[in-house]
Amino acid sequence: MGVAYSVGEVDHLYTFFVQWSPDIYTKGNKKHHQPHYLIREKHQNRYLVVEKNKVAVINKLLSNPVNPTAKNWEIITVKDSKRRLSLCSSEESEAEEPEYNEESDDIIPVLSEYSQLLDDHHLERLAAHMPARTQGYPWQLVYSTAIHGSSLKTLYRNMAGLDSPVLLVVKDMHKKVFGAFSSDPFRVSKYCYGTGETFLFSFNPDFQAYRWSGENSYFVSGNLESLQIGGGGGGFGLWLDADLYHGSSFSCPTFHNEPLSTQKDFIVQDLEVWTVQG
């Protein structure tokens, strides 16, 4: 489906589209597209993903005076929505923001909140390597050390009941950014979980993605003392302690990765976890 939510539901807009032009948007549409535009509900920050070639027709529907529901919505670009959602945006930063072409707007996702760790370069490279089922949906912030403090228990608690993939992003004290995409949300488990969609990544500063090697299935495991991603050898691909302060990264058979951090043992400066809910 091509629907993306930031807050609440948009059933009334679905009803409007289905009634006036069912060929444009229906709940049964399973195709994955990379949108250029979003429909935004004014004053509510709720969004519906729109394909570029449908914008003109939908804009006409939104100007139809018959149904007053349409007047509550407007079409904006992905780029503009990013500006509106940024918690630290300012006139100065907008003036300095570089222009993006349509191709970059296709790839760069919309964030529900401002990221302390990810800029547009990070977002573009990561989004291009994430599974197709995540494309076109806004990223929701689930956990941040800057907001929630440094606690693995809190990280687990914030993901309780979550049923969607997650992106873990770490910045170490050497300012290196790295992390992991997990097909499953992090949780305490006696056994390893996850699928072959899981991968490790680092910016060194060039982007490197380390995908599943097929050698074992030690994707993710977690307990109250630590979170581990990748294994089967002398160390984990990525390991974090209970305080999300100390970490380590070694080459492991699961991903055949290089160590992600500047040093195999590192100190966490900041950490974020994002989810992509379809």
Report the predicted TM-score, pTM, of the whole model to 2 decimal places: 0.65
Tell me, yes or no, whether 96 and 142 share the same domain.
no
- ω before 205 within 30° of 0 (cis)? yes
Tell me, yes or no, whether 88 and 115 share the same domain.
no
Alpha carbon 209 to its chain's center: 16
Q: Which two tokens stand for residue 183?
A: 């097909």
Cα 65 to Cα 19, 24, 69, 78, distances in angstroms: 14, 19, 9, 26
pLDDT tens, residue order, the chain (278 aa): 333 433 344 444 544 444 444 444 443 443 434 444 455 554 555 455 555 556 566 666 666 655 555 556 665 555 555 444 444 443 443 434 334 344 444 568 899 999 999 999 999 999 999 999 898 889 999 999 999 999 999 999 999 989 999 999 999 999 999 999 999 999 999 999 999 999 999 998 899 999 999 999 999 999 999 999 999 988 999 999 999 999 999 999 999 999 999 899 999 999 999 998 76
Tell me, yes or no, whether 163 and 234 share the same domain.
yes
Cα 22 to Cα 10, 48, 65, 91, 213, distances in angstroms: 16, 15, 18, 40, 44
Tell me, yes or no, whether 136 and 228 share the same domain.
yes
Tell me, yes or no, whether 95 and 115 share the same domain.
no
For 95, phi and psi rounded to 5 degrees? -65, -30
Tell me, yes or no, whether 130 and 87 share the same domain.
no
Boundary residue ending a domain (107, 142, 176): 107
Task: Look at the alpha carbons of 149, 152, 158, 164 in this order and tell me if their dihedral is positive or negative.
Answer: positive
Q: Which two tokens stand for residue 186?
A: 């992090």
Dihedral-angle region of residue 219 (phi above 0 means left; psi in -120 to 50 means alpha; beta otherwise): alpha
What pLDDT digit, counting tens, does each position of 223-263 carry? 999 999 999 988 999 999 999 999 999 999 999 999 999 89
Tell me, yes or no, whether 56 and 79 share the same domain.
yes
Boundary residue ending a domain (107, 135, 168): 107
Cα–Cα distance for residue pair 80/78, rounded to 1 Å: 5
Tell me, yes or no, whether 27 and 118 share the same domain.
no
Name the residue range of residue 94's domain: 1-107
Tell me, yes or no, whether 221 and 118 share the same domain.
yes
| Chain position carrying tokens 């609440």 | 8
Boundary residue ending a domain (60, 85, 107): 107
Tell me, yes or no, whether 129 and 162 share the same domain.
yes
